[in-house]
Chain A
């Protein structure tokens, strides 16, 4: 019996989940709550542009973005499948979730690839 390919998808889900758990809360708080409210200084255009030029930053951000999206795709697929019992739409849901994550990964590759 051939083993399922699920392990690969689960690997994306779990690495995305771990990265998101570690990195996102502080980023959301600082960039999109504290800074707009004036609690901390807003990063300047120049500062962000310079940071984005750094290859390590671009690679890291690309990893966070792509893996977080695949984390969502896998989890949301199961939530729809089990939560709303949409079994007959299984293939469609898989295409919409993983497809969106894959498409946005390509967009991210372009954005971060050309930001140098």
Chain B
């Protein structure tokens, strides 16, 4: 191949390996290729045993998150030719147990996501005759950035706290919880605060900020968490100083 680049990919085959190893592949260095195209080339032409996740190939499904040269990225959104002459390192995301090659287990995140009640919670439903729940563009704007999360887990990989403290809820779960807390149709603030305002909830976060730096959808989970710290603190003081009122 006239113009080619080497990919150095982390392999882990549990049936034969005790620890991950590196394997090199030479792929064409096409200007219009993403790293995902290179991985698909490897799987189609060079080594069918390589395991990795992908689906939409256009940055909306969140399946193809991996570490490329140490940075958590969506491989479908990372141009191969812009990564330098190589070799380009491809590894699974930090913080998740590796099932095989580039595939991590995401059960922990899914459990934590469920814990934060990421759905509209209503005190009571008005009768249907009353019509739909109306929302101004301003009210929509309040929570819209947090609704853009595609659960790609890049933020968890970038967050050292998630790796250091296994019980930390993590950036995406908290941001998604905020998406509902800030939704004008939702009444679940107090319920979620009991879950979020814990040592393994928002208080484990030390505002490193890398989660927001790597987010491909500009969700800004770090901002969501810091805002929530202020809200949770205000709520705590209210509950101490005026315990008879609903916080």
A interface list, Cβ under 8 A from B:
1, 3-4, 6-8, 10-11, 14, 78, 82, 85
Give the contacting residue for B199; candidates A4, A14, A82; CB below 8 A: A4
What 5 A-B pairs have minimum CB-CB distances, sorted nearest first?
A7-B236, A6-B203, A7-B233, A3-B197, A1-B194
7 additional contacts, CB 8 Å, given A4-B201, A11-B237? A7-B236, A8-B233, A8-B236, A10-B229, A14-B233, A82-B160, A82-B161
Main secondary structure, interface of A, reads: helix
Closest chain B residue, CB of each to CB of A85: B164
Closest chain B residue, CB of each to CB of A75: B206
List B contacts of A1 (CB < 8 A).
Answer: 194-195, 198
Q: In the complex, are the beta carbons of B203 and A10 less than 8 A apart?
A: yes
Q: Could you mark each residue 139-157 of chain B with 1 if its beta carbon is under 8 Å from any beta carbon of chain A, else 0?
A: 0000000000000000000
Interface size class of chain B, counting residues whose CB lies under 8 Å from the partner chain: 20 to 34
Q: Could you mark each residue 218-239 of chain B with 1 if its beta carbon is under 8 Å from any beta carbon of chain A, else 0?
A: 0000000000010011011101
The verdict on A6 contacting B199 (CB below 8 Å), with A1-B194, A11-B233, A82-B206 known, is yes
Kindly state the separation between the CA atoms of A85 and B166 in the bound complex, as whole angstroms.
Answer: 13
List A contacts of B193 (CB < 8 A).
Answer: 3
Main secondary structure, interface of B, reads: helix
B interface list, Cβ under 8 A from A:
160-161, 164-165, 193-195, 197-199, 201, 203, 206, 229, 232-233, 235-237, 239
The verdict on A82 contacting B194 (CB below 8 Å), with A6-B199, A7-B236, A10-B203 known, is no
Kindly state the separation between the CA atoms of A8 and B194 in the bound complex, as whole angstroms.
Answer: 15
List B contacts of A10 (CB < 8 A).
Answer: 203, 229, 233
List A contacts of B160 (CB < 8 A).
Answer: 82
Q: In the complex, are the beta carbons of A7 and B237 less than 8 A apart?
A: yes
Query: Could you pull out 16 A-B pairs where Cβ atoms are within 8 angstroms?
Result: A1-B194, A3-B193, A3-B194, A3-B236, A3-B239, A4-B199, A4-B201, A4-B203, A6-B197, A7-B232, A7-B235, A8-B233, A10-B203, A10-B229, A82-B161, A82-B206
Residue from A7, A8, A10, A82 with most neighbouring chain B CB atoms (10 Å): A7
Q: How far is the CB of B211 from chain A (nearest CB, A)?
A: 15
List B contacts of A11 (CB < 8 A).
Answer: 233, 237
List A contacts of B237 (CB < 8 A).
Answer: 7, 11
